[in-house]
Chain A
Amino acid sequence: MSAHDTRMHKQLAELLRKHSGQQLMANRHWRVDMALKPILRRHSIPDLNMLGDLLAGDSDADLARECVEAMINNETCFYRDQANFALLTGPVLDSMWEKRSNTKRLRIWSAACSTGQEPYSLAMHFASNPEKWAGWNIHIHATDISTSALAQARNGRYSQFEIQRGLPVMLMLKHFDQHETEWQLKEPIRRAVTFAKHNLLDAAQGAGVYDLILCRNMLMYLCDDNRKQVLGNLATALTRDGMLMLGAAETVIGQTDRFAASQEFRGFYEQALSR
């Protein structure tokens, strides 16, 4: 790697940190290089070093935003981490059902939802269990920092590759229409989720709002300070007896004193004060 490459990656890392709070680790350089290539083609920029030079002046805000969008990892799929998702839709939601059976009101936040597969997986789960959730007021709110990911999420349209990642064929037939090589989510499931752009480093709207927050496979891209800040924001947004779900490889241990690992549900976390 040349000194110029190192400088260029440092510039890109600073850009990503400034706009999203995420770190650009050295092991993601090749992935980022690949992700930026369509931008080079679109703007007739000859190479990544030239892109670095153009970004260095901080004069082209649109180009900077475009690069940040490309560098954010939008990896997701339907029913991601099936075993953990089954724990969520089984025992965890059973527990939520009991806790909220007096109000029959459930507020769920899919934080860092990427292209929408996670909140839509939840919406399909509720639609598949109409008797259990009859009369409930369930709101699934989903946010992400990426404008392009949110646009796809709102459209609910997925490629052949995306549609068969994690989604059982019966649910695909039930909830999607085929449009040539793409699959369009039907209106009832799309209506069950609201989307908004949000940076998790910023405070969430409202305190103690959400009964359940899903924030999976995002904290791993943050530095310690930002991770602590995001966990603080999530704790503030969660109800006193709510639950936080993290990615299978993530934990709050050693990251914050606002959450404690659930004794009942592996991979789930509770407000530390509720103990």
Chain B
Amino acid sequence: MKSCLIVDDSKVIRKVARHILETLQFQVAEAVDGEEALTMCANDNPDVILLDWNMPVMSGMEFLRAYRASPIQDGAKVIFCTTENGIAHIQAAIDAGADEYVMKPFDRETLENKLQIVGCL
């Protein structure tokens, strides 16, 4: 069973994403910001990380840069999932090491497609 860490400060988004991922047979964990996500990844690296951009304490971009520079990362795929839908943000996320990008709002099929594209389905 593949594992996914959802990193989002919105309880609603975490709940919706968890529901979709669990129906796709993922083992799901949740973090409310980048700092908590880094701690969780240090203990147990997921196969894929679904990452929001704007969060308190540590943003998605700060998390991604720290994660990609850190020895804790173990090839996890990172999919940004955010309302930052401008092309400059998307390019910046890819340059920082994101593997895919989901523009909110999203549905099950979009998320499923993106998980297939990064090889997690």
Contact = CB atoms under 8 A, between A and B. Distances in A.
Interface string B48-90: 0000000000000000000000000000000000000111001
Contacts of B117: 82, 168
Interface residues of B, number: 18
B94 A169 contact: yes
A10 interface: no
Contacts, number: 36
Main secondary structure of the interface of B (DSSP, over half): helix
A172 B113 CA distance: 14
Contact of A165 (B90, B94, B101, B113): B113
A77 B113 CA distance: 10
A168 B100 contact: yes
B82 to A, nearest CB: 12
A76 to B, nearest CB: 12
Interface in A120-136: none
B94 A170 contact: yes
Nearest to A78: B113
Contact of A164 (B87, B91, B103): B103
A173 B113 contact: no
A181 to B, nearest CB: 8
Interface string A158-200: 0011001110111011000110010000000000000000000
Contact of A169 (B100, B109, B116): B100
Interface string B95-119: 0000011110011011001101100
Contacts of B102: 164
Nearest to A160: B103
B66 to A, nearest CB: 22
25 contacts: A77-B113, A82-B113, A82-B116, A82-B117, A160-B85, A160-B103, A161-B110, A164-B101, A164-B102, A164-B106, A164-B110, A164-B114, A165-B110, A168-B100, A168-B117, A169-B90, A169-B94, A169-B100, A169-B101, A170-B94, A172-B90, A173-B90, A177-B87, A178-B87, A181-B85
